Structure 1
Amino acid sequence: MERGWTQQELSEISGVPQPTISQIEQGNRKYPTHRNIQKIAKALGVDIKELDDEMDCENY
């Protein structure tokens, strides 16, 4: 998903902390929470399934 946003902009729009977004993007956060993926999907205007399919998520 490319929107041309910075991590900080995505953080502000989604409510997910910027360091968390950075870790997810770099693959350093192996199991992002379902809740964070939900927030990011909503901010990007995509179905959560699109992001869930690309990542392993912990359901909490």
Structure 2
Amino acid sequence: MTVKPIKLSPKRGNHGHITSYTINIGSAEARECGFTEAGVQLEKVVALDRKEIIIRIKNE
């Protein structure tokens, strides 16, 4: 497991309010994790108690 700092980039809606945030995942990291393989479904896990957001391959 590798831990790297990231930056949230705010995205604004029509009225100038922040409606979401984006982060960048490097193409090499995405490939190494298998995220770019055909047919792979990803899921987002939000663990509020641990203050974590995890992106992972969905278990079938």
Smaller-chain TM-score bracket: under 0.3
Query: Under a length normalisation based on structure 2, what TM-score does the superposition of the two structures give?
Result: 0.24
Higher helix share: 1
Query: Under a length normalisation based on structure 1, what TM-score does the superposition of the two structures give?
Result: 0.24
Q: Specify the structure having the higher radius of gyration (Cα).
A: 2
Higher strand share: 2
